[in-house]
Structure 1
Amino acid sequence: MGTWDIGPFENDMAADFADALDETPHDQREGVVLSALTQAIQAQDYLECPEGAEAVAAAALIAAQCPGGEPVSTSYGPDEPVPTITDELRSLAVDALDRVVAENSELADLWDETVDGPAWRNSVRRLRGVLDPEPERLEEPLFEL
């Protein structure tokens, strides 16, 4: 696997995913994102590295459209705009990221063998936080019972 940084598009597999997305007609691009997410979620025994990397890239595209999401600004991301993402895809992206960092995930295993493993896990955790933010907690109760 050619990887040069922890970002969602900073590896060969995600860059190839972005290229494939750019070559897909606009009205079919959502299906490509959906496919990347569902392949990761549906991996039964072991999630292979390419599917994990594509799922992270797809989740980053969805997170970029969410409040607090960072735009995909790397030259390895898609050049063409991604269609507006649905709530269903946002929920699937959360599930896919959970699968990518779980046991039996080759991508997580490979990152865990490196010094950058914790930073990679933090970057995935940040993406997940954008996709599924924690509700704000009140400092004081509004009333007492």
Structure 2
Amino acid sequence: MGTWDVGPFDNDTAADWCGDLDDASPDARQGLVRDTLARAAETIDFLDAHVADEAIAAAALVAAQCPGGDPAHPHYGPDEPVPDLTGLHALALRTLDRVMTEPSELLELWAEPNGSPGPWQATINRLRSTLTPRPPEEQLHLS
């Protein structure tokens, strides 16, 4: 089926990666998320869509643990418990920045003809917003 919507888990690659995360031992899950994020964030040349799809899913799992974060997709996200990923916020942000920087296959595939942000870019922007640290005074207003 490939890709069926714009969400972080709405493609076969992300769903398969979540299955791999479920298959990993509980002690290895945080490392798998970190390694997935780092693989995309550290890509200097062309960023392959499969690497980016996995990294976006990993970033979404980090964002899910933030205040206001959306939970993982109930059908395509991981079934097994996800470890504490709060130490990966900065890496998840760097990863999303890399996905949105040329050369990036997903950026090309989701480009809108008129150059304006489309629904996929809005999804990435929501993840970025959730992962971006808030000033302490703003956190008090969210509680």
Q: If the length of structure 1 is used for normalisation, what is the TM-score?
A: 0.86
- The Cα offsets for residues 78-104 of structure 1, whole Å up to 9 and x where unpaired, read as 0001001132x1110000000001110
Partner of 1:4: 4
**Greater Cα offset, 119-128 or 1-10:** 1-10
1:45-70 C-alpha deviation (Å, 9 max, x unpaired):
11000110011000000000000101
Secondary structure of the 1:112 match is coil
How many correspondences in the alignment? 136
- 1:22 and 2:22 equivalent? yes
Moved more, 1-10 or 46-55: 1-10
Q: What is the TM-score of this pair, normalised by structure 2?
A: 0.88
Q: Which runs of 5+ in 2 are unaligned?
A: 139-143
Q: Distance in 2 between matches of 1:11 and 1:25?
A: 24
In structure 2, what is the equivalent of residue 142 of structure 1? none
CA contact (8 A) 1:9 1:74 kept: no
Question: 1: distance between equivalents of 2:106 and 2:125?
Answer: 15
Greater radius of gyration (CA): 1
1:137, 1:121 → 2: CA distance? 28
Structure 1, unaligned runs of 5 or more? 139-145
Percent identity between matched residues is 50
What is the aligned-residue RMSD (CA, Å)?
A: 2.1
